[in-house]
Structure 1
Amino acid sequence: MKKIYLFLYIIYPVLFISQSINGFKIPDSLKNKNINYIENAYNQVFQIDNEKAEFYANIILHKGKIENEKNLIYDGYYNIARIKNLKGENGHPYADSLIALVKNKIYKDYPSKAYIIKGILYNNEGNYKSALEQYAIALKLNQNENQEQFYYIKKLIAILKTATEEYKEALPLFIEYYLYEKNKINSNNKNEKDYLSSIFSLSNIYAKCKNYQKSNEFADLGIKECKKYKNYSNYYYLIMLKGINYFYLKKLSLSLGYLESVEASLRKNKDYTNLGILYYFIGRVKYESHMEKEAITYFIKSDSISFANKNFEPIKRDGYEIIIDYYKKKGDLNNQLKFIDKLIYSDSIIAETQKNLSKEIFKKYDTPLLIKEKEGLIKNLNSKNSIFSWLIIFLLITSALFIYIIKKYRQKIKTYKKQAKLLLEKNENRKSSSKENENILSNTNKQDDVDNKKSISSNPKFQLIINKIELFEKNKDFLRKNITLDTLSKELDTNRDYLSKLINELKGKNFSQYINELRINYIISELKSNEKIRKYTIAAISEDIGFNNSESFTNAFKKITGTLPSYFIKLLNEENKTLNN
């Protein structure tokens, strides 16, 4: 058996090499070109024309095989894995071949670099925990404290922190990486591609931190430097980022111009992930510009790319809600139901991905950067027993934390369901009231209300306002959007102080609570009696009853009832189904 294992160990890399270059031939025009020419050609088309980049990467690998040059073989596999990743194809066989070749060897930037590319592949698949594990191995294998690799891994960990929405923690890591590359660009060890990449990373994280002006400053710097060094690998992505920034800055015409200018490049590179995001933002610009029909076209394009490539980014979610509301207004039930199903599926995929994005898991698991910088444990763990012990500790901490998070999540869900049931029972047992729109959830003492009314009604001026408030409730004027204390006081021909005092004394709550409870009380009644409304999206319901967005409606509903509107609707549908059966 030992001989068999030894044979497999020797032959394993060779099998991968022979498969990876099977049938590939170097064109006659490039056979006599030296390797520096080929590598420069690869760098010039990287992220600009990925088909050509893969072609040059295969030449590097092929030359390495023919000439038995280890560095060319290693770099060939590394470059092919990167390009496959950018094209949304499977780069793992090439990364695995590379790891098999460099395992237990110390050569140039390897084996650390092999685990870096493996981590990048996992990261782009949304498998963040596995990516972190590969970066930890890469950092441990970083030979002689290689600064280049050390700062590059810092950047990769910053990308992971960006995925967990820890933008403020990621920002200083990106700044460090940028300053390192900026200092290096003026030295003999300069790397133009990495320098330009550091500018894009910094521009992108400023955008994530909602500092769009600062993001645009670095985007402009990046565009200028791309032209200066004649390296356009990040050029179109910087332009796209500017387009997104201008959308958030409400400069819609500028935004549209930048966004539309990069579509052809993304299509050429088969960068479907970014193309889907591009179409979403063009849709948003069109929608905000009141070009609803054109906006829907782009949202549907974005949706098609998501389903074709199984990429569902949370940022694109509200595009589905806009599509659903559009078909709702059109009375197109089939398309409405179709995109409701798509939204539910998209949410399920995003929810699954979110399991890998727990900030607490990252903190407990710890980052390889902290291990390297603060504790130096990786360098000192030379014995197998120590490594095994630490691995067990990490696994135990991670498992315990995961169980705790799941438990808390289930408890929260259980509470929501229980509160939804209590709310339904409360509605069913509620006694008829002579006053229309009485708040069923108010904790105000009724006797106190009577006493307050007696004290206020003695003033005829106040009594007139009370009558107007009752008419306001009866006419359901509280369903209008953007009602404030100031606007209502003007409508009722009084001043805001009188109105605020009356509502506080009569209702036992402030103005905002009063309006929210009227709306929530109304929609609870409507949901219970009107089956059609239950089919609306949360965004559509919130719009109908005067809330500015679905988030403020959901928060108000949860604060007042102790549950979420989605659970209450689900319970109503289940009860209706039971009655029909």
Structure 2
Amino acid sequence: MKKKLVLLYLVACALVNAQDLDAYNKLYNKTYLETASKDFKKALYIADSLYKISGTPTLQAKSLMLSANLCRDAKDFNRALSYAEKAETIIENTDNLNWQARISLFLAGQYRGVELYSQSKKYAQKTLKTAKMIKDTLIAHKIQGLILQEMAYYEMDQKKYKKSNQYIQQSQLHFNVIKEKDFFTTDNEQMLGSNYYNLKNINASLYHYKKALNLVKDFPENETTSYIYIGLANVYLEKKNLSKAKQYLDLAKKVSEKTENLEQKKEIYTTEKQYYLQTENIEKLKVTDQRKDTLEKKIESKTRQFIDESYTKLDKKIIKTEKKSIQKNYLIFITGLLLILILTLYIRSKIQQRKNIEKFKQILRKSNIKNSTDSPIASEKIDISVHQAGNNEAVVLMSSETEGKLLAKLNKFEKTNLFNNKNISLPFLAGRFETNTKYLSYVINTHKEKDFNNYINELRINYIIEKLKNDPQYRNFKLASLADEVGFSSHSKFSKIFKKVTSLSPSLFIKYLQEEIQEKED
């Protein structure tokens, strides 16, 4: 292996030293399109070697971008960004507008991939600005087509598939006039196939996937090829053509096994799950579930429990029964019992889902009602003279006028965002209101009908609900960011309080909210 790598390094040196750009480009393209799909480490070694012996800034930047693309496909975002930013620094000192635009375009896509949308937008605008200055019309068309394609990917991430299709059509107008038309059209057709699949237009999806498949045959197998196979497998699953679905699923797996594209592998597992569900192969469904769960942990770097404990126990019972070779009638009984239990669990999950959706709608209705009042927590005009002191010494010493003033200050406080302050406390707020904690605690307990902590927590949760409803950016934030926004010390505490107030987890609430917004847009 080492001898082969040394030989590759010497070949690369010879190419660059001889300034044979055609040979350089051939090796560059072969590394990305062919070598990477078979041996990722070898491809990365070639890319690094090309950089080390490149004699011009343009070739250095181009070699770095080869490494960046390889790392991006392997979901190594940090290394991909590092390579691309280094390439950007080099190319900025040249007048090569083509590669300046291509690198900023890559960075736009990379930042989108890690959900840093402001940075992504900045680089997208930079790409468009640079593309307009490119004098070579064919290169300008290519760059503009690519940035429009990137914008289409962004809309796909936001589940705005119709808008994504519009960008794809615009990008195709640019690709139609360039030499590499078929290469870029393949990606566009694959994207259209995916969008129409998500829009439930299965026939249109099949049409575009077939067009992509016909185009991709002229190129070495790569990740686009695998995505086309995955898409076709999904389409045929929808059409209940299981043999065709299996055919394309196997082709996708064959291509994917040679790459480090983890996101693609996850999509294959998702499609494979649907196949085993339709074929009712519970054993293989379980294996695929476990592989997909492990892969998601690797990609997202956090623990997720995928298989329900009770389901696992039932599955173990089946395995144990098979090993002991119990009589046929007993196996039928156990299988029937399992099916009944699965059906029961399915019905219960559907009932729970309906309950959750109703809770979600209640939250929205409650939120809309609150928006029509003067404060986040509705406060009716209360005749404070009717409240009885009971054994509360603070009430005996507090006049009705003081009580009314404190209630008015609370209502004014609710219109601010001060409750999101991490250091908010009863003594702190009492100090701002120029009163003591007993008075303030009494007014909150009496008029808000909750203690101080629950009062503040409900204000915070209502605030974040409004942000999620009205600001799309918030729906893309991590839970930790949302928790920090409203003053919670951790995302786990935020999730606990959110569920306490709304009866839904924040993740489930955001999911329902996105689905409702998507339905309105469609």
Pick the TM interval, shorter chain. Answer: 0.5 to 0.7
- Superimposed CA distance per residue, residues 42-93 of structure 1 (whole angstroms, 9 cap, x where no aligned partner): 32353544225434433442342xx3x2221121122211111111222112
1:74 aligned partner: 61
- Superimposed CA distance per residue, residues 385-441 of structure 1 (whole angstroms, 9 cap, x where no aligned partner): xxxxxxxxxxxxxxxxxxxxxxxxxxxxxxxxxxxxxxxxxxxxxxxxxxxxxxxxx
- Superimposed CA distance per residue, residues 163-196 of structure 1 (whole angstroms, 9 cap, x where no aligned partner): 1111111111112223432443xxxx33543232
* TM-score (norm: length of structure 1): 0.50
CA distance in 1, matches of 2:219, 2:315: 52
1:240 aligned partner: 230
* TM-score (norm: length of structure 2): 0.55
CA distance in 1, matches of 2:301, 2:97: 36
Match of 1:141 among 130, 135, 155: 130
CA distance in 2, matches of 1:177, 1:568: 43
CA distance in 2, matches of 1:59, 1:192: 30
CA distance in 1, matches of 2:127, 2:46: 26
2:51 aligned partner: 61
Equivalent AA in structure 2 for residue 327 of structure 1: T
2:30 aligned partner: 44
Q: Does 1:555 align with 2:357?
A: yes
Over 3 Å counting, the alpha-carbon distance change for 1:127 and 1:559 in structure 2 is closer
Over 3 Å counting, the alpha-carbon distance change for 1:300 and 1:129 in structure 2 is farther
Match of 1:287 among 277, 286, 289: 277
CA distance in 2, matches of 1:233, 1:568: 40
Is the Cα contact below 8 Å between 2:189 and 2:212 reproduced in 1? yes
Is the Cα contact below 8 Å between 1:78 and 1:98 reproduced in 2? yes
CA distance in 1, matches of 2:10, 2:502: 73
Equivalent AA in structure 1 for residue 240 of structure 2: K
1:202 Cα deviation after fit: 2.4
Equivalent AA in structure 2 for residue 114 of structure 1: I
Over 3 Å counting, the alpha-carbon distance change for 1:285 and 1:229 in structure 2 is closer
- Counting matched residue pairs gives 330
1:107 Cα deviation after fit: 1.4
Is the Cα contact below 8 Å between 2:262 and 2:295 reproduced in 1? yes
Q: Does 1:122 align with 2:136?
A: no
Equivalent AA in structure 2 for residue 87 of structure 1: A
Is the Cα contact below 8 Å between 2:190 and 2:209 reproduced in 1? yes
Over 3 Å counting, the alpha-carbon distance change for 1:175 and 1:324 in structure 2 is farther
1:533 aligned partner: none
1:425-574 equivalences under 5 Å are 543-544=347-348, 548=350, 551-556=353-358
Equivalent AA in structure 1 for residue 180 of structure 2: K
1:131 aligned partner: 120
1:282 Cα deviation after fit: 0.8
CA distance in 1, matches of 2:95, 2:11: 35
CA distance in 2, matches of 1:92, 1:129: 16
1:305 Cα deviation after fit: 0.7
CA distance in 1, matches of 2:150, 2:27: 25
Match of 1:169 among 163, 169, 178: 163
Q: Does 1:151 align with 2:159?
A: no
Residue 115 of structure 2: SS of its match in structure 1? coil
Structure 1: state its 5+ residue gaps.
Answer: 1-22, 333-535, 574-581
Moved over 4 A (4+): 23-26, 229-233, 322-325, 328-332, 539-542, 547-550, 556-563, 566-573
The percent identity for this pair of structures is 13
1:89-128 equivalences under 5 Å are 89=76, 90-103=79-92, 105-128=94-117
Equivalent AA in structure 1 for residue 347 of structure 2: E
1:181 aligned partner: 175
1:88 aligned partner: 75
CA distance in 1, matches of 2:171, 2:352: 39
Equivalent AA in structure 2 for residue 277 of structure 1: E
Over 3 Å counting, the alpha-carbon distance change for 1:277 and 1:112 in structure 2 is same
- Superimposed CA distance per residue, residues 305-341 of structure 1 (whole angstroms, 9 cap, x where no aligned partner): 11122279xxxx9x94x74562364599xxxxxxxxx
Q: Does 1:160 align with 2:142?
A: no
Residue 43 of structure 1: SS of its match in structure 2? helix
1:317-396 equivalences under 5 Å are 320=306, 323=308, 326-327=311-312, 329=314
1:155 Cα deviation after fit: 0.9
Structure 2: state its 5+ residue gaps.
Answer: 135-139, 318-340, 367-495, 504-522
Over 3 Å counting, the alpha-carbon distance change for 1:80 and 1:129 in structure 2 is same
- Superimposed CA distance per residue, residues 433-466 of structure 1 (whole angstroms, 9 cap, x where no aligned partner): xxxxxxxxxxxxxxxxxxxxxxxxxxxxxxxxxx
1:207 Cα deviation after fit: 2.1
CA distance in 2, matches of 1:232, 1:143: 31
Instruction: Give the aligned CA root-mean-square deviation in angstroms.
Output: 3.7
Q: Does 1:216 align with 2:200?
A: no
Over 3 Å counting, the alpha-carbon distance change for 1:179 and 1:143 in structure 2 is closer
Match of 1:306 among 296, 299, 312: 296
1:159 Cα deviation after fit: 0.7
1:24-39 equivalences under 5 Å are 26-33=8-15, 34-39=20-25
Is the Cα contact below 8 Å between 1:283 and 1:297 reproduced in 2? no
Is the Cα contact below 8 Å between 1:178 and 1:199 reproduced in 2? no
Is the Cα contact below 8 Å between 2:64 and 2:84 reproduced in 1? yes
- Superimposed CA distance per residue, residues 515-549 of structure 1 (whole angstroms, 9 cap, x where no aligned partner): xxxxxxxxxxxxxxxxxxxxx99x976713xx757
Is the Cα contact below 8 Å between 1:175 and 1:202 reproduced in 2? no
- Superimposed CA distance per residue, residues 205-254 of structure 1 (whole angstroms, 9 cap, x where no aligned partner): 22232222222222222222222355655222211111122223333332
Is the Cα contact below 8 Å between 1:203 and 1:216 reproduced in 2? yes
Is the Cα contact below 8 Å between 1:155 and 1:174 reproduced in 2? yes
Residue 218 of structure 1: SS of its match in structure 2? helix
- Superimposed CA distance per residue, residues 84-128 of structure 1 (whole angstroms, 9 cap, x where no aligned partner): 111122211211111212336431414222221222222222333
1:301 Cα deviation after fit: 0.5
Over 3 Å counting, the alpha-carbon distance change for 1:557 and 1:117 in structure 2 is closer
CA distance in 1, matches of 2:240, 2:247: 13
